[in-house]
Amino acid sequence: MENFVYHPAASRGHADHGWLEARHTFSFARYYDPARMHFGVLRVLNDDIVAPGMGFGTHPHDNMEIITIPLRGQLAHKDSMGNAETISTGEVQIMSAGTGVEHSEYNPSATEEVNLLQIWVLPNRRNVAPRYQQFPLLIEETNRLYQILSPNSEDSGGWIYQNAWFFRASLSAGTSIDYELREPANGVYIFVISGNIAVNGQTLSDRDGYGIWSVEAFPIACNEAAQVLIMEVPMGFE
């Protein structure tokens, strides 16, 4: 039985709204593929480009862990918890929607697009008090995993209500790193932001995704300089 799934970048759902160009790894909005609903509790992986001065008006969420990672530009955020922040490239935002929260997001630049990843993870606790977290992610060395989030509030970086760990890595051509699962029952979804890597014999390049499970560890070989997002998540719903 196969223990992997490969999602080429070109196979993602695509929506062009003029002010927003969105690509969806998993079914979202008008893009629906019954074979692409989620990877374990990883429900949404959207790669959005928002035009200058445009954005998402106030809208609600509940019982979802929402992670926003700007890859280029800035994103202004306001929510019903009273937060009014600007998230910049090199920062991460986490919002536990819990019992319910409303927020808006827009590009504050008059001239530059913003490109962001928005990720939704199903929580392991429902109806918690909504919470907001924002912090810098400094990738200072190549070929090293930098933790973005974990289930542990005492860890550096962020945390969410789920038994999940996220990492970013900047890899050099010709190198290889090993990823060891924090929980053997979890799966790992790898998203290539840029560059070219190989996992489990599969070559992956810009914006490709690859999920693997029923393993304890695996190598990530870098063919050309790469930026990689690694998401370890439970494969079942809790």
DSSP string, 114-156: EEEEEEEE--SS-SPPPEEEEEE----SSS-EEEEEES-TTSS
Same domain, 120 and 29: yes
Across the range 12-23, mean pLDDT stands at 97
Same domain, 24 and 54: yes
Residues 110-161 pLDDT 10s:
999 999 999 999 999 999 999 999 999 988 899 999 999 999 998 878 999 9
Across the range 203-217, mean pLDDT stands at 97
Q: What is the mean pLDDT of the chain?
A: 96
| Residue 23 counted as domain residue | yes
Same domain, 124 and 161: no
Where is the domain boundary, 136, 162, 197? 136
- What is the model's pLDDT at position 203? 98
φ/ψ of 11, rounded to 5, equals -85, -5
Same domain, 21 and 99: yes
> Domain residues for 73?
12-136
Across the range 29-38, mean pLDDT stands at 95
Same domain, 115 and 225: no
Same domain, 153 and 123: no
For CA atoms 41, 115, 146, 175, the dihedral sign is: positive
Same domain, 167 and 123: no
Same domain, 83 and 173: no
Question: What total of structural domains would you count in the chain?
Answer: 2
Same domain, 165 and 114: no
Strands (E), the chain: 4-7, 13-16, 20-24, 42-50, 55-61, 65-72, 74-79, 84-88, 91-96, 101-106, 114-121, 131-136, 145-150, 158-159, 165-171, 176-180, 186-199, 202-205, 209-213, 217-234
Contact 85, 57 (CB under 8 A): no
Where is the domain boundary, 136, 164, 193? 136
| Residue 27 counted as domain residue | yes
Same domain, 109 and 171: no
- What is the model's pLDDT at position 139? 87
| Residue 35 counted as domain residue | yes
Alpha helices in the chain (DSSP H): none
- What is the model's pLDDT at position 149? 97
At residue 237, does pLDDT exceed 70? no
At residue 66, does pLDDT exceed 60? yes
Give the pLDDT band (50/70/90) at residue 67.
very high
Same domain, 128 and 29: yes
| Residue 2 counted as domain residue | no
State the CB neighbour count (10 A cutoff) for residue 63: 16
Model pTM? 0.97
| Residue 228 counted as domain residue | yes
Contact 168, 137 (CB under 8 A): yes
For CA atoms 41, 191, 135, 182, the dihedral sign is: positive
| Residue 50 counted as domain residue | yes
Task: Determine the Cα angle at 78 with ends 75 and 80, to 5°.
Answer: 155
Give the pLDDT band (50/70/90) at residue 2.
confident
Across the range 188-209, mean pLDDT stands at 97
- What is the model's pLDDT at position 177? 96
- What is the model's pLDDT at position 157? 83
Choice between 221 and 238, residue whose per-residue pLDDT is larger: 221
Where is the domain boundary, 79, 102, 136? 136
Across the range 36-58, mean pLDDT stands at 97
Same domain, 121 and 16: yes
Q: CATH no. for residue 43?
A: 2.60.120.10
Residues 93-102 pLDDT 10s:
999 999 999 9
